[in-house]
Amino acid sequence: MHSLAAVDSANSAAQQTPNRWEAIAAWLVKRRVRLTVIIFVALMAEDVIVGVRPHDLFDVRDPESMAGVALIALGLAIRSWAAGILRKSRELSTSGPYAIVRNPLYVGSFLVMGGFCSLIDDFENIFFVMGPIAGLYYLQVLHEERFLSRTFGPQWDEYVRSVPRFVPRRLPSAPFADWSRREWLGNREYRAFAAVLLGMLAVQVWHWV
Considering the domain boundaries, does residue 140 fall inside one? yes
Considering the domain boundaries, does residue 73 fall inside one? yes
CA distances in angstroms from 104 to 17, 135, 140, 153, listed in the order given: 33, 17, 14, 21
Residues 6+ apart with CB under 8 A from 48: 206
122-159, pLDDT tens digit by residue? 888 888 888 888 998 999 999 899 999 999 999 999 99
Considering the domain boundaries, does residue 16 fall inside one? no
192: domain CATH number? Answer: 1.20.120
- Say if residues 96 and 176 touch (Cβ distance below 8 Å): yes
50-79, pLDDT tens digit by residue? 999 999 999 999 999 999 999 999 999 999
Considering the domain boundaries, does residue 161 fall inside one? yes
**Domain, as residue range, for 80:** 31-208
Considering the domain boundaries, does residue 170 fall inside one? yes
